[in-house]
Amino acid sequence: MSAFAPRLSRLQSLQRLERLHRVPRVAPLLHTSCASARTAAVTAGLAVLTALAPAAHARGVVEVSFVEPERFTDIGWRPADRERNLEVLARRLRDKAERLPDGQTLKVEVLDVDLAGAEFVLMRNPEIRVLKGRADWPRMQLRYTLSAQGRTLRSGQEQVQDMAYMERSAGLPHTDALAYDLRLLDEWFERRVIRAEAP
């Protein structure tokens, strides 16, 4: 028998043991494949939820403009007060867009404003507006057009006012400086735009 036989036999035994204990290389591939499958499943699920989700709340458009506001009867005395009051009124009207159906546009031109009460200006202090409930009720001159897809639905021009504004003060926020004027706009919008009542 050759002297190399025992060495060769031991070498073959070591190689056989090494093959038996070798870590398989397919495990990472299987892990990657599982991760890809999970990602695909999540993506498909999100696509289904997106398709089933309701569409975003549709709303119309409200455009507000003030025609020669420097000539308004009473919108404030100081420039900062006038600018603030105009923005408060415009924001209130623009917020009404949520009440309009999708595709409708309401254009409102404010021709004159006479805020409720009378103002008293004190140096170095903001204006103080005193409400007496007499001949100081809120008044506004409005011109409006409600349209959809290029077709005019309603339009008009009118003076809106609330002569008994102090008799309906319950429920109004006391922190809102223009509470009565904003209520005047709210009620006009409900009558003319939502319920389509004639002037």
DSSP category for residue 57? P
- Does a structural domain hold residue 33? yes
Q: Do 148 and 183 have their domain in common? A: yes
pTM reported for the whole predicted model = 0.67
CA dist 16 and 13 (Å) reads 5
Structure tokens at 186: 């709210």
Hey, what's the torsion of the CAs at 141, 143, 156, 91, to 10 degrees?
-100
Q: Do 48 and 66 have their domain in common? A: no
Q: Do 86 and 38 have their domain in common? A: no
Q: Do 47 and 117 have their domain in common? A: no
**3-class state of residue 51 by DSSP:** helix
- Does a structural domain hold residue 99? yes
DSSP category for residue 134? S
Q: Do 48 and 99 have their domain in common? A: no
Q: Do 26 and 116 have their domain in common? A: no
Which parts of the chain sit beneath pLDDT 70? 1-58, 121-127, 170, 174-175
The angle at the Cα of 183, spanning 88 to 72, to the nearest 5 degrees, equals 55
Residue 89 has a pLDDT of: 97
Structure tokens at 43: 């993506």
Nearest one of 120, 108, 131, 111 to 76, comparing CA atoms: 120
- Does a structural domain hold residue 177? yes
- Does a structural domain hold residue 199? no
Q: Which residues contact 118 (CB under 8 A, 6 or more apart)?
A: 74, 129, 130, 132, 136
Q: Do 71 and 40 have their domain in common? A: no
Residue 43 has a pLDDT of: 52
* Total domain count, the chain: 2
Q: Do 107 and 172 have their domain in common? A: yes
Length of the chain: 199
Q: Do 44 and 66 have their domain in common? A: no
Q: Do 37 and 69 have their domain in common? A: no
Nearest one of 69, 74, 147 to 111, comparing CA atoms: 69
Range of the domain at 9: 5-52
CA dist 109 and 152 (Å) reads 16
